[in-house]
Structure 1
């Protein structure tokens, strides 16, 4: 299976005014894992356009509530566990290679609506960035640590001072 390619994707970290990050629980998983919005890049689509599309499809958040803060300087990737290769994505991919974007969110909680046309999340919440690696499925933990490292400086710059 190591000869399978990586699925091209966009990942999105949405930072609210309190310096917390949007995470959702997938509908298709019984795990208590939480993840940030992400999804495939369609043929002919650029990564930023895909990122904004995925945010809308997964969270209902309109683009006017998002301001781009940063883009990870390089693609990040992860491999599926052996037992999932061939079962996900019709067996076409061994994992994902992702372009990650960090957005500031100017909307309110009422602007989030995970009951979209094709819902992907059963629940959502705001989480501290440092908590993200512990919240994700184990095989994506290194990826989330790399996302946090890529956005370290802008996250510190936009962090809300602790009382």
Structure 2
């Protein structure tokens, strides 16, 4: 059975004087273990917990951002599949906007640093192609929503 984790691609919009898409920054956390890779907040599903509840709990635990700080964006969910130490893992990511772009991030012991990054830098930090593709898909989703307005 695959390990299952859930999380959010958290983004914020900067001042309205910056034109889209340059006004969008994504939150990445640097792990304090292993190779110190960069990742959005995510974590394993607890027994009896639904996926979205896991994503909210893990984002609160890892970045200090709770449901009151986030607005989940409709119509976006990405499922990633990869191997961790020879075992299959699946990760579900939803897209969530930080309601107040100035809200502070508070890291757990699992992470040693965080960064708000525009798409190009976020993809460079992410390193893994499937996560890069997810960030690109998130940006595309936000641009499509913007065009519909």
Coarse TM-score class (shorter-chain normalised): 0.7 to 0.9
Equivalent of residue 102 in structure 1, options 95, 101, 115: 95
Counterpart of 2:34?
Answer: 29
The structural deviation recorded for 1:120 is 1.1
Question: How big is each residue's C-alpha offset from its partner over 1:87-131, in whole Å with a ceiling of 9 and x where there is no partner?
Answer: xxxxxxx132111110000235453111x4xx2111111011233
RMSD of the alignment, in Å? 2.3
Equivalent of residue 105 in structure 2, options 96, 100, 112: 112
1:83-162 to 2 correspondences below 5 Å: 84-85=85-86, 94-114=87-107, 116=108, 119-137=109-127, 141-157=128-144
Note the residue ranges of structure 1 that are not aligned, 5 or more in a row: 86-93
TM-score by length of 2: 0.78
Counterpart of 2:10?
Answer: 14
Structure that is richer in strand per residue:
2
Q: Aligned partners of 1:41, 1:7: CA distance in 2, in Å?
A: 9
Q: Aligned partners of 1:113, 1:149: CA distance in 2, in Å?
A: 26
Equivalent of residue 47 in structure 1, options 51, 68, 84: 51
Q: Aligned partners of 1:22, 1:74: CA distance in 2, in Å?
A: 16
Does the 8 A contact of 1:77 with 1:95 survive in 2? yes
Does the 8 A contact of 2:56 with 2:67 survive in 1? yes
The structural deviation recorded for 1:153 is 3.1
Q: Aligned partners of 2:137, 2:64: CA distance in 1, in Å?
A: 26
Note the residue ranges of structure 2 that are not aligned, 5 or more in a row: 15-23
TM-score by length of 1: 0.72
Counterpart of 2:67?
Answer: 63
